[in-house]
Amino acid sequence: MQHTLLVDCPDNKGLIYKIAKQLLEFDVNIEQNDEFVDTDNAHFFMRTVMSGLEKPFELQEILQRQLPDANIRLFKKQPKKIVLMCTKEPHCMGDLLVRNEFNEMNVEVVAVISNHEILRSLVERFNIPFHFISHKEKDRASHEAEVHEILSEYEPEYIVLAKYMRILTPSFVARYKHRIINIHHSFLPAFIGANPYRQAYERGVKIIGATAHYVTDNLDEGPIIAQDVRVVGHRFSAKEMSKAGKDVEKIVLANALKLVFDERVFIHGNKTIIF
């Protein structure tokens, strides 16, 4: 059984030695190890993949005592339970459902929640529960209360906004801090908010892109996980840019989720460190 150890803390001498010495005492086999120091902030990051660990809780407790200022997380390799949220667009949803069906990511999609019925038939082809929660004639808090009730049934580790076209309230985001991941149809920080392809078209851009990021209270400004672009030109209409962008969106979202689910992402302030 594989485990992944994530450690981040203020930088200091001897950190790698202290951690590696403890791993040796637990007789584990280190299969992969990466470190990085943010010299501007004097902060240390380390990711270690190991096998043969029989007492994970004991190891974590000992490391925490030795490194009291550190954020120490230890994960057993197993699929992450996630809930997908969507509105009307099928491209990201369909891509993730196929990847889930064929075990291409370390994930188990346990349910889908949507504020429209349009994608129900697509989701149910994969034998995944689909929950329609209409937002009409409801205030945002009431709608989110119903969403939370469904989420509570499944207790997902992450919530993925696969083109969920509603702004979440600060209270909802706070309840699932650093557990909501969004795909934005723009190369952030450019063209924040609605209709980014129209904005890009009117600006005459030469590349379009997509950004996967953690959701925070600030619209489309959370820590970025993954991005990619495609070259376009003056012959592209706004509609053609949108069509091309959808291909980028689904690939960026899938790549970002793989990084997160493989425990490769550290959140540090409003940015990420990725191994």
The catalytic position among 8, 40, 217, 220 is: 220
10-residue averages of pLDDT along the chain (275 residues):
97 96 97 97 98 97 97 97 97 97 96 98 98 93 96 98 95 96 75 65 76 90 92 79 85 97 96 97
Is 220 annotated as catalytic? yes
**CA distances in angstroms from 62 to 16, 92, 107, listed in the order given:** 15, 42, 30
Sequence-separated (6 or more) residues with CB below 8 Å from residue 224: 188, 211, 212, 213, 271, 272
pLDDT of 197: 64
The pTM score is: 0.91
Domain boundaries, the chain: 2-76, 80-274
Q: How far apart are CA 204 and CA 141, in angstroms?
A: 38
Return the CATH fold of 2-76: Alpha-Beta Plaits (3.30.70)
Query: DSSP 3-state assignment of 231?
Result: strand
pLDDT of 220 reads 76
What strands lie across the sheet with 2-10, from one edge to the other? 29-38, 43-51, 2-10, 71-76
Are 82 and 158 in contact, with CB atoms under 8 Å apart? yes
| Phi, psi for residue 184 in degrees, rounded to 5 | -110, 135
Q: Is the dihedral of CA 229, 233, 234, 238 positive or negative?
A: negative
Q: For domain 80-274, is the CATH number 3.40.50.720? A: no
Distances (CA, A) of 235 to 53, 85, 206, 248: 57, 34, 11, 19
